[in-house]
Amino acid sequence: MTLSRRSILQSGAGAIALSTVAGCLSEPDDGAAPEGGYAAFFTLWDWTEQIVGDEKAVENPVDTGEMGHGWEPPADIQQEIAGSEFFVYLDINEFQWAQDVVADIESDENDVTVIDGMGELEVGEELSPVDNHVWVDPVLAQSIVETIADELGEMDPDNEALYTENAAEYVDRLDDVDQQFQEVAEDADRDLAIFAGHDSFSYIEDRYGFELHTPVGTSPDEVEGPSDISEMIDLAADHDIETILYDPFETPGEDEPPRMVEVVIESDETAVTEAEPLTPAEGTTEEWNEQDWGWVEQMTELNVPSLRKALDAE
């Protein structure tokens, strides 16, 4: 999973091969599957699956290899969701398409149970007023999971106890992720790393006390300029950074690292020799599907090791 100076300079390719093969993690049922609903993107799909187990079918409409953040839905998505039992989403601006679907569903007085995972959480004074990536934080994630379970229990009281039990077990796993992030912070010899991606980890930074410098804002559509890359190079040189981080969903194509990663590694001004993936868990890849990775595994198998390396916490 490492992009090294050698791999970039000799072959011009990264070590990660991200699949862009279309296909959802959960295929549409064939009529024999139990009733179910939709979740707005990979993380919510995974969490809802953990809660419902085999009692409900859950669909992730976002194709493998794509980010749910900024996703453009197909024209028939509203009709499909309107014909389902429930829709799990986050009522935040990062998912405008989902907000639009919910507005249309509610105006048409459909019987779909709409579940806003944000619950009592509000992006504002207590959370970041800029960064809406609440699902990246394992502590905030616990609140979202419990909200989803509560709402599903109200919708389906016959299985309320099961949903509550499954959610509690999964919250324990999220708590373990929190502990692993805490250990990274405690072991770190530096409190600054460079992340060549959109700004999506401010909750992690605030909670665990380190900084991830990013060249652009919170939207994956923002494009870095020459001055942004120069700033990355200067920071890497000033802080003797050897490993930088990148978003595996923001690569130009299969086997290609982000260009800004190439530039920093190729620069003679820095000691950077490697780049490690850091995922905000906005989607999944074919490779991760084959390994049966959910949100927890993306954090523990990718993010924790990558942060350890970038923050000199090994």
Single pTM value for the model = 0.86
Handedness of CA 88, 93, 97, 102 (dihedral sign): positive
Same structural domain for residues 175 and 194? no
Does 200 fall in a domain? yes
Domain containing residue 248: 3-18+188-310
Does 29 fall in a domain? no
- C-alpha dist (Å) from residue 74 to 96, 172, 205: 14, 36, 35
* Parallel/antiparallel/unpaired status of strands 113-116 and 211-213: unpaired
Beta bridge partners of 213: 194
Same structural domain for residues 115 and 234? no
Does 100 fall in a domain? yes
Each of the 314 residues of the chain gets a pLDDT tens digit; together they read 555 443 444 444 333 333 332 333 334 344 433 489 999 999 999 999 999 999 999 999 998 888 776 678 888 898 999 999 999 999 988 888 999 999 998 888 778 999 999 998 876 555 575 678 999 999 999 999 999 999 999 999 999 999 999 999 999 999 999 999 999 999 999 999 999 988 899 999 999 999 999 987 666 666 777 888 999 999 999 999 999 999 988 876 655 678 889 999 999 999 999 999 999 999 999 999 999 999 999 999 999 999 999 999 98
Same structural domain for residues 44 and 172? yes
Q: Residue 124: its pLDDT value, please? A: 58
- C-alpha dist (Å) from residue 94 to 87, 143, 250, 261, 306: 17, 19, 17, 25, 25
Q: Residue 221: its pLDDT value, please? A: 64
Q: How far apart are CA 287 and CA 294, in angstroms?
A: 12
**Residue 37 in contact with residue 59, Cβ under 8 Å?**
yes
Same structural domain for residues 137 and 97? yes
Same structural domain for residues 100 and 197? no
Same structural domain for residues 139 and 74? yes
Q: How far apart are CA 213 and CA 228, in angstroms?
A: 11
Same structural domain for residues 80 and 45? yes
Q: Residue 179: its pLDDT value, please? A: 98
* Parallel/antiparallel/unpaired status of strands 57-59 and 274-277: unpaired
Q: Residue 138: its pLDDT value, please? A: 97
Q: How far apart are CA 212 and CA 52, in angstroms?
A: 35
Domain count, the chain: 2
Q: Residue 126: its pLDDT value, please? A: 55
Q: How far apart are CA 152 and CA 146, in angstroms?
A: 10
**Residue 212 in contact with residue 193, Cβ under 8 Å?**
yes
Same structural domain for residues 152 and 235? no
Does 260 fall in a domain? yes
Structure-token match 């799990």, residue found: 88
Q: How far apart are CA 152 and CA 113, in angstroms?
A: 8
Q: How far apart are CA 295 and CA 280, in angstroms?
A: 9
> Three-state SS for 228?
helix
Same structural domain for residues 53 and 90? yes
> Three-state SS for 193?
strand
What's the CATH number where 278 sits?
A: 3.40.50.1980
- Taking Cα atoms as reference points, which of 74, 64, 1 lies closest to residue 27? 64
Q: Residue 58: its pLDDT value, please? A: 97
Residues 6+ apart with CB under 8 A from 258: 196, 197, 246, 247, 250, 251, 252
